[in-house]
Amino acid sequence: MNASVLLARWNGLPGREKMLVAATAAVVAAVLLWLIALGPALGVLRSADEQHRTLDAQLQHMRGLQQQAQALQSQPKQSHDDAVRRLELSVRQRLGTTARTTVTGDRVSITLTGTPADALAQWVTQARVDARALPSEARLSRNTAGLWEGTLVLSLPPR
């Protein structure tokens, strides 16, 4: 239909029907305005505080990681033997009798038998910082008591 036909129909409508059509058009326009512009904007505004808190927490975490990386970079170079000694000492201190160490070149295998999760997590962090050892392989499983068993292979810094 072209505009002249629509205009002719509009002019042919009684005043009451014109008012109903105009009111319907206004309601449809208001709904579309809400769905397209106002609703999404208000949703973003409502979630802005939560997103801000989440992003602040992520930023703090990243700054912590940055400080940790800078601290690791500022540490003096250590010999391979010193790294092995520090690693073995940390195994004895943190994991006790639940772990056994085997050194082969630049790789250290740790065999775990019944190691608590929190002790293992703390030890991996300490090994990374003190001996600069990085996990390269892990074959771990949880036993029925919820303790870790298996083998963890760490790579030491090159000689």
In this predicted structure, what is the pLDDT of residue 83? 82
Average pLDDT along the chain: 87
In this predicted structure, what is the pLDDT of residue 127? 85
Q: How many domains does the chain have?
A: 2
What lies within 8 Å, CB to CB, of 108 at 6+ separation is 84, 87, 101, 102, 133, 153, 154, 156
Comparing 159 with 60, the larger pLDDT belongs to 60
> How large a percentage of the chain has pLDDT more than 90?
35
Q: What is the domain extent for residue 58? A: 3-73
**61-97 exposure pattern, b = at least 16 Cβ within 10 A, e = fewer:** eeeeeeeeeeeeeeeeeeeeeebbebbeebbeebbee
Q: Are residues 89 and 42 in the same domain?
A: no
Q: Are residues 84 and 151 in the same domain?
A: yes
Question: In the structure, what pLDDT confidence band is assigned to residue 27 with cuts at 50, 70 and 90?
Answer: very high
Mean pLDDT of 5-34: 88
Whichever domain contains 100, its CATH number is 3.30.1360
Hey, what are 82's tokens?
């010193």
Q: Are residues 151 and 85 in the same domain?
A: yes
Q: Are residues 138 and 88 in the same domain?
A: yes
136, 109 contact by CB (below 8 A): no
2, pLDDT greater than 90: no
Question: In the structure, what pLDDT confidence band is assigned to residue 158 with cuts at 50, 70 and 90?
Answer: confident
Residue after which a domain boundary falls, among 73, 88, 107: 73
Render pLDDT for 98-155 as a digit per residue (tens, 0 to 9). 889 988 888 899 999 999 999 999 988 888 887 888 889 999 999 998 899 999 999 8
> How large a percentage of the chain has pLDDT more than 70?
99
- pTM over 0.85, yes/no: no
Question: In the structure, what pLDDT confidence band is assigned to residue 1 with cuts at 50, 70 and 90?
Answer: low
